[in-house]
């Protein structure tokens, strides 16, 4: 079913939403509710009891999933069918984390065998760098690996590196360049030693404008900083590629033997567990990277096999559809109570908004319901002192996911108190406060002057999901990423859109190339622009 609004379940949900009056304060008085709406998936403990989920709502949402064939499309994805219809491609990021003993033949090719062949090469390379066997052109071991990519070739590696810093080998550092703004490369490189720096250029086609521009900047920086006698062959010692365009890789000066490929069935925003994660494999080591992949696999298996009423990605995706399409929630906050996950909301922005920011269904027709949400967030407790005011007392519905871990990486005590417990006190309190709120009578009972009572009332009934795990390990990080991958998938299937293309990214990129002559001084090209663009370019040219 391409049009979900034509299903009976959609009609039932619309009626339910029209008279929907959540009462979380009352609902949470029922112990059975917490038991019924708490799920486990891998190492994740997921409490949906403070969401808007009810037994009736769950029943209708699961009916919607059935009537839009989420299960059938899920199996089609796992099998490698070409569910990316506008690009006529399979969607097989789940194959990236399957066991070596598995086999998945798609159009005559065992994709699992291909994946492990590349993984073996990535692991061998990572071990050489980590052991010091791989040396720069002057014979010194590598101290810094700089990943150059953009979009999925940057956001995933950066987020995971930051999340797993406790697992990074001592004496080894990773840095990242993505923005074509020269400031990014300049700031990243300015204090590095060319003799001990290794670059990973991540671009499937080796044509991405931002990535190739920054790669050329890095090459010039490297050669300018090395002794003259090693410059001619230095690129091969200081550059590797994540790409399948071996001819272009060779033209750049990189040995094609040091190029790690991936496949057209891996979308950029789903690629951190492919060779795009090479920088992560180097930093944390092959064993930890294998655990990272095992975490993805655990969530893949849960999504494929858990009963619908206890299937975490399925229920969370369906809830997001209810919030966005029936209750007009236009944004969704992700609030990790872990500084290590400070880049996780930014990572999810690409995963969710590039996937489901669509106004056309996969059958080519316009959508008939709101699709997509703006994902955003910052780590707690910093966010509490910034934007939580809007979530607590604003007029907009903002569903929020809270993420926390039982074990601290740094177990400090402050004045005899466990700092991690002080920290998690905020995690527990915020979801409680959002759910229960505070009534006018409760405010008055605190002795608040009557004239400011209303300013201190909290309506409550703000829906949240709490996700906890024992610790932030490579495996748990993989589970978290895969959880949101599958949530995004569920939403896209229900809405009838192709979550795996990204044509909206292409128009501006093409226009940027076309504007080059006008920017650089071609008067006729400038004259051909619209008045606003012409004015802006003229301002630039007069002030440069």
Positions marked active-site: 354, 385, 509
Q: Where are the alpha helices (DSSP H) in 342-473?
A: 344-348, 355-356, 388-393, 419-436, 440-445
Residue with tokens 């409550």: 460
Distance CA 240, CA 203 (A): 11
The helix/strand/coil state of 106 is strand
* Torsion of Cα atoms, 81 then 82 then 84 then 88, to 10°: 170
Instruction: Return the DSSP state at 366.
Output: B
Polymer length of the chain: 544
Instruction: Return the DSSP state at 169.
Output: P
- Long-range CB contacts for residues 285-289, cutoff 8 Å, separation at least 24: 285/126, 285/127, 285/130, 285/167, 285/169, 286/122, 286/123, 286/126, 286/127, 288/164, 288/167, 288/474, 289/123, 289/126, 289/474
Q: Are strands 197-202 and 173-177 parallel, antiparallel or unpaired?
A: unpaired
Distance CA 458, CA 454 (A): 9
Contact between 277 and 156 under an 8 Å Cβ cutoff? The reply is yes
- Please give the backbone phi and psi of residue 141, each rounded to the nearest 5 degrees, phi first: -70, 165
The helix/strand/coil state of 123 is helix
Contact between 134 and 128 under an 8 Å Cβ cutoff? The reply is yes
């Amino acid at each position: 079913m391409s049009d979900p609004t034509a299903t009976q379940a959609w009609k039932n949900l619309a009626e339910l939403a029209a008279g929907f009056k959540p009462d979380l304060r009352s609902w949470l008085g029922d112990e059975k509710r917490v038991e019924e709406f708490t799920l486990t998936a891998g190492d994740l403990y997921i409490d949906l009891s403070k969401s808007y989920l009810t037994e009736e709502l769950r029943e209708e949402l699961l009916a919607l999933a059935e009537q839009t064939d989420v299960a059938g499309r899920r199996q089609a994805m796992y099998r490698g069918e070409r569910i990316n219809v506008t690009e006529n491609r399979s969607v097989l990021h789940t194959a990236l984390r399957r066991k070596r003993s598995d086999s998945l033949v798609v159009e005559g090719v065992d994709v699992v065998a291909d994946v492990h062949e590349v993984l073996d090469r990535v692991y061998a390379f990572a071990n050489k760098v980590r052991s010091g066997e791989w040396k720069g052109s002057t014979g010194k071991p590598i101290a810094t690996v700089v990943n150059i990519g953009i979009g999925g070739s940057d956001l995933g590696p950066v987020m995971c590196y930051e999340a797993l810093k406790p697992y990074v080998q001592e004496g080894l550092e990773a840095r990242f360049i993505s923005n074509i703004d020269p400031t990014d490369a300049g700031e990243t490189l300015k204090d590095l030693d060319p003799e001990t720096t290794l670059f990973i250029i991540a671009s499937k086609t080796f044509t991405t404008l931002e990535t190739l521009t920054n790669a050329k900047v890095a090459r010039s920086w490297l050669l300018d900083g090395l002794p003259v006698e090693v410059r001619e062959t230095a690129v091969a010692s200081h550059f590797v590629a994540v790409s399948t365009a071996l001819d272009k890789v060779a033209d750049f000066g990189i040995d094609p033997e040091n190029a790690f490929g991936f496949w057209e069935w891996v979308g950029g925003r789903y690629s951190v567990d492919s060779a795009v994660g090479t920088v992560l494999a180097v930093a944390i080591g092959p064993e930890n990277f294998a655990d990272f992949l095992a975490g993805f696999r655990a969530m893949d298996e849960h999504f494929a096999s858990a009963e619908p009423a206890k299937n975490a990605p399925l229920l969370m995706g369906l809830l997001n559809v209810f919030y966005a399409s029936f209750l007009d929630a236009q944004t969704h906050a992700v609030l990790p109570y872990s500084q290590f996950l400070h880049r996780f909301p930014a990572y999810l922005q690409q995963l969710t908004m590039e996937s489901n920011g669509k106004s056309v269904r996969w059958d080519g027709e316009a959508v008939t319901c709101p699709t997509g949400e703006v994902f955003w967030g910052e780590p707690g407790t910093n966010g509490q002192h910034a934007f939580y005011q809007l979530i607590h007392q604003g007029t907009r519905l903002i569903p929020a996911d809270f993420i926390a871990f039982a074990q601290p990486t740094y177990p400090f005590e402050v004045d005899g108190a466990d700092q991690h417990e002080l920290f998690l006190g905020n995690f527990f309190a915020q979801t409680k406060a959002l759910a229960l709120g505070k009534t006018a009578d409760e405010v008055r009972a605190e002795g608040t002057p009557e004239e400011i009572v209303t300013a201190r009332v909290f309506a409550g009934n703000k829906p949240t999901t709490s996700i906890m795990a024992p610790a932030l390990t490579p495996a748990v990080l993989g589970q978290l990423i895969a959880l949101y991958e599958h949530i995004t998938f569920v939403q896209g299937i229900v809405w009838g859109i192709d979550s795996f293309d990204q044509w909206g990214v292409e128009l501006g990129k093409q226009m940027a190339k076309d504007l080059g002559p006008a920017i650089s001084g071609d008067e006729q090209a400038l004259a051909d622009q619209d008045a606003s663009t012409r004015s802006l370019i003229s301002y630039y040219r007069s002030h440069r």
